[in-house]
Amino acid sequence: MIRIHQEGKKILQRLLIILGLTNFLVFWLSQNEWVENIVLLISIGIYILVLQFFRNPKRAMEASPKQVIAPADGKIVEIVEIEEQEYFNDKKIQISIFMSPLNVHVNRYPINGVVKYAKYHPGAFLVAWHPKSSLLNERTTIVVEGDDGQEVLFKQIAGAVARRIVMYAKDGHKAVRGTDAGFIKFGSRVDVILPADANVLVKVGDKARGGEQILAELK
């Protein structure tokens, strides 16, 4: 059975009503079986597409405290050294995960610990793979301090289609690896910012699986 995320339940209910009314009107007005069937098939396709977008599969794995798991499903599009300027003001490693409309869009905590910083930034809506989307787009920044004192930062970043970021993290909240930290509706990218000496275990082009795949190990 498909588990639906709480962010999608109202949207799916409204969509079902809209599609139902649309099909009723077509059936009532057209009296053309071919048209009715086409509209019905299109309606079913739209509903299935939106339904799979709001999937919320259970994910669980055993990992050591030093291991950082993927916070999102998607494709790893960038692994690069950056000068992080919002929180650390230091050199870090950035791993970027692009989420297509077909991916699960739940965002999960990558490590256990305490939320030390959580901030929402309004911004633009560049395509998610644009190099400057991490700095210019609507986004959130979340920093979790692990039990060993090391900090991992990750960003939810809106794209050209995504227009709604939901962030559950708040300063002082307990972060449990693999549990929900937020959701991006109809988009788009998550950046994970790691210490410069982290041992990255993935490469560009790999498919990330949120809540299960190990991205890196901390020293």
- Walk along the chain (219 residues) and give the pLDDT tens digit of each residue: 667 767 778 888 999 999 999 999 998 888 888 888 899 999 999 888 888 777 777 777 777 889 999 999 999 999 999 999 999 999 999 999 998 877 878 899 999 999 999 999 987 666 655 656 666 678 899 999 998 899 999 999 887 665 578 899 999 999 999 899 998 876 688 999 999 999 999 999 999 999 889 999 998
pLDDT of residue 11: 83
Are 137 and 125 in contact by the 8 Å Cβ rule? The answer is yes
Which residue type occupies 6? Q
Read off the tokens for 182.
């937020």
Q: How many Å apart are CA 190 and CA 155, to the nearest integer?
A: 5
Q: Is 188 a catalytic residue?
A: yes
DSSP strand E in the chain: where? Answer: 67-69, 74-84, 90-98, 106-108, 113-121, 139-145, 151-157, 164-167, 174-175, 180-185, 189-195, 199-200, 207-208, 214-217
Identified catalytic residue from 43, 133, 134, 188: 188
Return the residue matching tokens 């299935």: 48
Q: How many Å apart are CA 71 and CA 127, to the nearest integer?
A: 20
Fold of domain 67-217: Glucose Permease (Domain IIA) (2.70.70)
Q: How many Å apart are CA 212 and CA 199, to the nearest integer?
A: 17
pLDDT of residue 12: 85
Return the residue matching tokens 């053309």: 32
